[in-house]
């Protein structure tokens, strides 16, 4: 067995051979400036998506089901309510044209 002093010398030599790999560096553990800006941009986009999807999620929670089912329900409601009005307006415009 090697003496403790010899072990320390071997460890010291291996540290020199590695060239300081694993040594603590100043500022380590902190994000560089460009990563901070990228993180902020991604967080802003995620917040914008959450804000945009909030009404859909609210209706989803209100009726239950998945988000896709809720979107399909809202589209169906828009078609059922808006399509008869479009037909009525088209018919009214066509009828008004006949009487001129």
Per-10-residue mean pLDDT of the chain, 100 residues long, equals 69 68 56 77 88 84 86 88 86 78
On whether the CB atoms of residues 63 and 73 are closer than 8 A, the answer is yes
Contact partners, residue 60, CB within 8 Å, separation at least 6: 66, 67, 69, 70
Q: What is the pLDDT of residue 56?
A: 84
Q: What is the pLDDT of residue 66?
A: 86
Nearest to 71 by CA among 83, 85, 57, 81: 57
Note the pLDDT of residue 100.
61
How much is the pTM? 0.42
State how far the Cα of 74 lies from the Cα of 90, in Å rounded to an integer. 24
The residue assigned the tokens 């329900």 is 73
């Amino acid at each position: 067995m090697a003496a403790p002093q010899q072990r320390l010398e071997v460890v010291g030599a291996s540290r020199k051979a590695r060239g300081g790999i694993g040594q603590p560096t100043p500022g380590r553990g902190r994000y560089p400036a460009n990563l901070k800006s990228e993180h902020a941009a991604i967080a802003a986009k995620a917040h914008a998506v959450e804000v945009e999807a909030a009404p859909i999620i609210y209706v989803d929670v209100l009726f239950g089901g998945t988000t896709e089912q809720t979107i399909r329900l809202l589209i169906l409601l828009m078609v059922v309510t808006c399509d008869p009005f479009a037909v009525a307006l088209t018919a009214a415009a066509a009828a008004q044209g006949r009487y001129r």
